Structures are given as structure tokens and as C-alpha cells.
């Protein structure tokens, strides 16, 4: 079964300290759903139309688990805490077996 991944890129963050409430809820929600944080705020070398701002990569055992984690009540509460004015490109992708 193929793994699932959350890939989240924040093209614009004007006040990173405002992410605290989201992070405090999102981390436990992701871990409770079986997610493993692989990268956050690490170094990025961008090519073509890529951007170097905050990139977050989370791995789940299956694609279905990744989708269910996003749809969970705990993660919906975290999303509600995401402050206004943040631009985010979020995707759930299926890995290769």
C-alpha cells in the first residue's frame, strides 16, 4: 500500500508567531492520526517556479490515512486556529509503492 504525504507550502507569512495556536493543535492531531513530521522550515533550494518559504512535509502509512487525518475533528480545530492572512498551498499526495 502506498504511503500518503501532506505537502504544505506557505508562500507568504507576515507574522510567523501567529502560527503558534495552529501548531499547538496541528502537531498532536497529526501525531494522533499516525503522521510523522519529516521536514519543517529546513533549507530549500528552489528551481523554476519554486519558492523557498516555509515547507512542511508529513508522512502517513497510507494515502487514506493522510486524507482521514485532514478530515478529522482534531485537525479541523487546528485549521480554525490558522490565522487570517496566511497564504498556504496544501496538498495530500499518494506515494509510489
pLDDT in tens, 30-53: 999 999 999 988 888 889 988 888
Per-residue pLDDT of the chain (97 residues; tens, 9 = 90+): 899 999 999 887 777 777 888 889 999 999 999 999 999 888 888 899 888 888 899 999 999 999 999 999 999 999 998 877 778 899 999 999 7
Structural contact between residues 70 and 93, judged by C-beta atoms closer than 8 angstroms: no
Q: How far apart are CA 61 and CA 57, in angstroms?
A: 14
CA distances from 68 to 10, 46, 62, 95 (A): 22, 30, 10, 16
In the chain, the domains with their CATH numbers are 4-94 (3.30.70.100)
Structural contact between residues 68 and 23, judged by C-beta atoms closer than 8 angstroms: no
Structural contact between residues 37 and 58, judged by C-beta atoms closer than 8 angstroms: yes
Cell of 6: 501532506
Amino acid at each position: 500500500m502506498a504511503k500518503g504525504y501532506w505537502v504544505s507550502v506557505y508562500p507568504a507569512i507576515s507574522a510567523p508567531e501567529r502560527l503558534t495556536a495552529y501548531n499547538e493543535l496541528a502537531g498532536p492531531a497529526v501525531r494522533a492520526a499516525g503522521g510523522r513530521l519529516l521536514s519543517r522550515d529546513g533549507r530549500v533550494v528552489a528551481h523554476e517556479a519554486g519558492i523557498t518559504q516555509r515547507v512542511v512535509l508529513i508522512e502517513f502509512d497510507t494515502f487514506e490515512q493522510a486524507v482521514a487525518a485532514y478530515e478529522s475533528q482534531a485537525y479541523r480545530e487546528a485549521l480554525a486556529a490558522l490565522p487570517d492572512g496566511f497564504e498556504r498551498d496544501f496538498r495530500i499526495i499518494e506515494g509510489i509503492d
